[in-house]
Structure 1
Amino acid sequence: MEIQQIVGANVRKYRQAAKLSQWDLVARLEAMTDDLGVDQAYISHLENGRKNPTLNVLWHIAQALGVSLAQLVEE
């Protein structure tokens, strides 16, 4: 499995465990920083392994989900 697929699956897993929709996750990210440039479509593409997020985006997503960055990249 490629890293984009691993990250995407982990983002989806932790988002769903937190009982958040993709829209809810975007709202949390926007509350943290409004210049991240992440919308619902981006989250969808990320979760489906079609986006290669920057480290900065991954860090913010981890913070919004209450998990560590390592948890988003572990297989």
Structure 2
Amino acid sequence: MARTIENGIVIDVDITTPADDEVSPGYQLRFADALPREVVGTPLDDIVVDRLAGSSGCFEWFKNALADIREDARH
């Protein structure tokens, strides 16, 4: 996941969809399509995403990635 943060605010997001089974890619693609509308323009520390675009499992991956992004942004 590539990201662009400026002054603590998300200004761009780019997501890869690494699914390797037949069902997950559809959910991941819908999640990836909906995510920018939810986070672009939002302060990094204010982002809260769980179920999005009918993808109840993708938010766990995103939550973990977001924790890494927040940690990187602090350094």
Common topology (TM > 0.5): no
- Higher relative contact order (Cα pairs below 8 Å, separated by 6+ residues): 1
Question: By percentage of residues, which structure has more strand?
Answer: 2
Normalising to structure 2: TM-score of the pair? 0.35
Normalising to structure 1: TM-score of the pair? 0.35
Pair member with larger Rg:
2
Question: By percentage of residues, which structure has more helix?
Answer: 1
